[in-house]
Amino acid sequence: MELTNSNGVNSKESSDQLNAIALMSNILAMIKADGSNVDTVIPDLFEIALDLFKAENASIILTNKNHQVTKVWLANETYNTPENRDYFNLAIEKGPISRVIHNKQAQIIHDTLVEENWIPFSLKNPEEESWSAISAPFLVRNKAIGAVTVSKPGKNQFNNTDLDILNMFVNQASNIIEKAHIVLDFELQLQISHLLNEASRSINSSLDLNEVMKSMLMQMNEFLRAEAISIALVDKQSNELVYQVAAGIGSKDIVGLRLPSNQGISGWVMEHGKPALVQDVDQEPRIVTLGDERTGHRTRAMICAPITYKSQVLGTIQAINPTDEVFTQSELDLLVNLANIASSAIANAQQFARTQEAESRYTSLYQDSIDPIIITEVGGQIADANRRAFAFLGYPPNELIEKHIRFLHRPEAILPNTAQMEPNSIRVFNSQMVRKNGRSVHVEVYVKRTSYGDSEYVQWIYHDISKQIELEEMRKDLQAMLFHDLQSPLGNVISSLELLTYELPENSSPALLEMLDIARRSSSRLQTLIRSLLDINQLEAGHPISEQNRTHVQDLVDDAWETVKPGYEKRNISLVQEIPEDLPDIFAEDDMLRRVLVNLLDNAVKYSPKSKQVILQAEAADDNVLIRVCDQGEGIPEEYRTLVFEKFRRIDTDTYSKGLGLGLAFCRLSVEAHGGKIWVDDSPGGGARFNFTIPRWKEDKDA
């Protein structure tokens, strides 16, 4: 019969335990003294522990500050299998070992079958027999950095003495484990620093976007142990993530996948600009299966970081399914660091690509332009020209380059002093270019001083306007024909009609008299139009008004009213005159100003509804007299209020489609030639209000 001590422990067993403890202490002291690699000593510790407790299995787990598994040693199994990874991830989260680490207190499990939180080692085949286990935490400065667990078949296989011995083991081993942990962290940080430095040099060594992303993949392979890694960039037009490059399982299939910004982990990272770590996608509501469906591979876990440049998310980098243990916060931090390093390189590469594309577009526009374009230095020496310039001028490149820009213009041409032009300033003028064959061509010249790199250049764009000049000459010839060839015959027609009026007997048919009146008024209008064309031509040429006199405004209004009165009576529109009796006289050319009033009154009746009013107002305004003609029509839209005063320009609507577009142009030129101003705005009662000013007559003007 064997002896037992007071705790019921066999004396021989106690002696064996004491011997094992002494041997274990010696081994721990040896590890501590010579700094041996803990990975080579752990198997010896397992052998002692298994022999000490007559156990069949043992494990050591190390965790980080977030209680995530970072290192595992097993006495009888290889940890790096999917089943073991799932087991320890679940055990550290929900099993008894979770209580040991969180409570920082050792624990005995007398029967695993009745332990509520016990997780069978084989998840596929739950244990059907009872096991006993003891577990104790590794404590360093009152912080749990891991735990050791010993187990064997049967109920009640461990007692408090065993627990005390296990505590002695972990107390002696904790410092060694911490030292190994620190050494591993230090070595890892050195490796990370080296790899980040290499990554920075490699990634930033190219401006080619594809090369940058491929270099990123190579660096990610160095950092992460993952089944697949990928990079996706933001498509700004669609606001989608587009997978650009990938490595690992399904890499060929994932490239080109477009992911909306509001879908998936990567979409969430893109939208919020924050990294994400997902240990179990089955428990993650943000996950989408587009990638899995496309590649045929299941995603179990994922880390993802945004590529951010100047607060703008350019894309994301992600890794899925760690091949060793689990993704840790440290690995996510590494991914974030790599994304930060890559962000500026990607932004530079994208900007470089946009610049190249813009230069390509500019070169295409420059060379394919239908207009000649010449580039000179600021001093005027020709540095380059497009194909059209050489063809237009007839010079080969070797004869044109380095010549002065003045060489291409007529001697009397006045060119801008480009040396005094401000950067990005523009000059536009008309000139004549001289071709190699000596012929001159009328051109419109657009000159702009611009910067390219560190140099200043001047861009000369020439637009051939010889056809426009030819048309303008034809127009002038046509005007001359109207002025001279039509005016005399028309004068004869008007005189004949006047004579015919006196020759008709008093009892002539009313219909005949009406037809004669229509012919007289139409002829008069035609004569007025021709005289307006003549005046426009003279005013545009800068000829001054030569016959200005003291003029009474009421007399001008009365004369104009007699001309337009039939049109008003026909449409049942009344003219309301608001002219004060003490209105000052004006200094004007009577006939020209009368035709201004006729044009404005005629327009007012033309665009007013029937049975309405037209109001003519006049008042003194400083050194001028202000005259207004107000109608009750539709008014003139604001965007057309300058256009209507241009020659041959009309408002292109059904309402404003009548006439040649000369009346208001004549009014503007006439009023401005008198030194006044003309404009249009809204009439207070609705409709258009035309306003113009004419200088008041002064005594010294009559002298």
Which pLDDT belongs to residue 680? 94
Q: For residue 304, which of 253, 284, 189 has the smallest C-alpha distance?
A: 284
Which pLDDT belongs to residue 181? 63
Which pLDDT belongs to residue 584? 94
Phi, psi of 165 (to 5 degrees): -65, -40
pLDDT tens, position by position, 585-636: 999 999 899 999 999 999 899 888 888 999 999 999 989 999 999 999 888 8
Q: In the sheet that 69-74 helps form, which strands lie side by side, from edge to edge?
A: 69-74, 57-63, 143-153, 131-140, 107-109
Instruction: Pick from 261-265, 418-422, 516-520, 529-533 the range whose average pLDDT is largest.
Output: 418-422
CATH architecture of 549-695: 2-Layer Sandwich (3.30)
Instruction: Pick from 15-24, 278-287, 434-443, 650-659 the range whose average pLDDT is largest.
Output: 434-443
Q: Which amino acid is at 583?
A: L
Q: Characterise 662 by phi-psi region: left (phi > 0), alpha (psi -120 to 50), beta (else).
A: alpha
Which pLDDT belongs to residue 5? 40
Which of the four pLDDT bands, split at 50, 70 and 90, describes residue 700?
Answer: low
CATH architecture of 367-463: 2-Layer Sandwich (3.30)
Span between the terminal Cα atoms of the chain, in Å? 155
CB 620 within 8 A of CB 583: yes
Instruction: Give me the percent of the chain exceeding a pLDDT of 90.
Output: 26
408: its two tokens = 């291409």
Q: Does the pLDDT at position 336 exceed 90?
A: no
Which pLDDT belongs to residue 6? 37
Which pLDDT belongs to residue 3? 32
pTM across the whole model: 0.41
Higher per-residue pLDDT: 544 or 147 = 147
Higher per-residue pLDDT: 169 or 696 = 696
5: its two tokens = 């001590």
Interatomic CA distance for residues 635 and 53, integer angstroms: 105
Interatomic CA distance for residues 281 and 125, integer angstroms: 24
Mean of pLDDT values over 436-443: 93
Query: Which residues of 363-418 form beta strands (DSSP E)?
Result: 373-377, 382-385
State the average pLDDT for the chain. Answer: 81
Query: Residue with structure tokens 């007025």?
Result: 528
Which pLDDT belongs to residue 1? 31
CATH annotation of 16-185 = 3.30.450.40
Identify the weakest region by mean pLDDT among 391-405, 421-435, 460-474, 501-515: 501-515
Interatomic CA distance for residues 59 and 95, integer angstroms: 14
Specify the length of the chain in residues.
703
Mean of pLDDT values over 649-662: 62
Q: Does the pLDDT at position 567 exceed 50?
A: yes
pLDDT tens, position by position, 132-141: 999 999 888 8
CATH architecture of 206-356: 2-Layer Sandwich (3.30)
Interatomic CA distance for residues 346 and 216, integer angstroms: 10
* Distant-in-sequence, close-in-space partners of 438: CB < 8 Å, separation ≥ 6: none
pLDDT tens, position by position, 60-117: 888 877 677 777 778 766 555 555 666 777 787 788 888 898 889 999 999 988 888 8
Mean of pLDDT values over 279-286: 83
pLDDT tens, position by position, 180-216: 666 666 665 666 566 656 656 655 555 566 776 776 6
